[in-house]
Chain A
Amino acid sequence: MSIKVAVAARNVGKIYGAGAAAVNALGDVSIDIQQGEFFTLLGPSGCGKTTLLRCIAGFETPTSGTILLSGRDITHTPPSARPVNTVFQSYALFPHLTVADNVGFGLKMQGKSRSEVASTVARVLDLVKLEAFADRLPAQMSGGQQQRVALARALAPAPEVLLLDEPLSALDLKLRKEMQSELKRLQTETGITFVFVTHDQEEALTMSNRIAVMSAGELLQVGTPRDIYDRPVNRFVADFIGETNFLVGEVDGTAVRIASGERLDVPLNGQTGRVTLAIRPEQIKIGTVPGGLAATVTDATYLGTDTHYALALSDGSALVARVQSRTGDDFAVGDTVGVTVDASAVQVLKE
Chain B
Amino acid sequence: MSGPAASKRPRSNGATGWLLSAPALILLAIAATGPLFIVILYSFLEKGDYSGVRWILSGDAWFRVFFEKDIFDGTVSLADANLAIIWRSVKLSLATTIITFGLGLPTAWFIATRPATQRAFWLFLITIPFWTNLLIRTFAIMEVIRNQGLLNTFLLHYGVISEPIQILYTDTAVLIGMAYVYLPLMVLPLFAAIDRFDFKLIEAGYDLYATRIKVLRRVILPIIRPGIVAGCILVFIPSLGAYVTPRVLGGGKNMMIGNFIELQFGQGQNWPLGAALSTMLLIIVLGSLVVYMRVSAREEPHG
Contacts and interface: CB of A to CB of B under 8 A. Distances in A.
Interface of A: 73, 75-76, 78
Contacts of A78: 8
Nearest to A73: B1
A78 B4 CA distance: 11
B2 interface: yes
A75 B6 CA distance: 12
B2 A75 contact: yes
B1 to A, nearest CB: 5
A319 B4 CA distance: 59
Contacts of A76: 2, 4-5, 8
Contacts of A75: 2, 5
A66 to B, nearest CB: 9
A231 to B, nearest CB: 38
B2 A73 contact: yes
A73 B4 CA distance: 13
A210 B281 CA distance: 72
Nearest to A77: B5
Interface in B4-46: 4-5, 8
Contacts, number: 9
Given A73-B2, A75-B2, 7 more contacts: A73-B1, A75-B5, A76-B2, A76-B4, A76-B5, A76-B8, A78-B8
Nearest to B3: A76
Name A's interface SS: loop
Contacts of B4: 76
A350 B4 CA distance: 47
Nearest to A74: B1
Contacts of B2: 73, 75-76
A73 B5 CA distance: 11
A116 B8 CA distance: 32
Interface of B: 1-2, 4-5, 8
A323 B5 CA distance: 58
Nearest to B2: A76
Contacts of A73: 1-2
9 contacts: A73-B1, A73-B2, A75-B2, A75-B5, A76-B2, A76-B4, A76-B5, A76-B8, A78-B8
Nearest to B1: A73
Question: 9 nearest interchain CB pairs?
Answer: A76-B5, A73-B1, A76-B2, A75-B2, A73-B2, A76-B8, A78-B8, A75-B5, A76-B4
B236 to A, nearest CB: 42
A230 to B, nearest CB: 41
B11 to A, nearest CB: 14
A73 B8 CA distance: 16
A68 to B, nearest CB: 11
A76 B8 CA distance: 9
B8 to A, nearest CB: 7
Nearest to B4: A76
B14 to A, nearest CB: 15
A78 B8 CA distance: 9
Nearest to B10: A61
B5 to A, nearest CB: 3
A69 to B, nearest CB: 12
A76 B5 CA distance: 6
B233 to A, nearest CB: 38
A273 to B, nearest CB: 47
A279 B4 CA distance: 53
A8 to B, nearest CB: 14
Contacts of B8: 76, 78
A75 B4 CA distance: 12
B16 to A, nearest CB: 16
Nearest to A78: B8
Contacts of B5: 75-76
Contacts of B1: 73
A78 B10 CA distance: 10
B205 to A, nearest CB: 41
A298 B4 CA distance: 67
A76 B10 CA distance: 11
B43 to A, nearest CB: 46
B98 to A, nearest CB: 47
A248 to B, nearest CB: 49
A78 B9 CA distance: 10
B12 to A, nearest CB: 12
A232 to B, nearest CB: 38
A78 to B, nearest CB: 7
A351 to B, nearest CB: 44
B35 to A, nearest CB: 41
A295 B4 CA distance: 68
B118 to A, nearest CB: 27
B9 to A, nearest CB: 8
A195 B92 CA distance: 71
With a 10 A CB-CB cut-off, give which of A73, A75, A76, A78 has the most chain B CB atoms: A76
Nearest to B6: A76
A73 B2 CA distance: 8
A75 B8 CA distance: 12
A256 to B, nearest CB: 51
A76 B1 CA distance: 9
A52 B280 CA distance: 59
B10 to A, nearest CB: 9
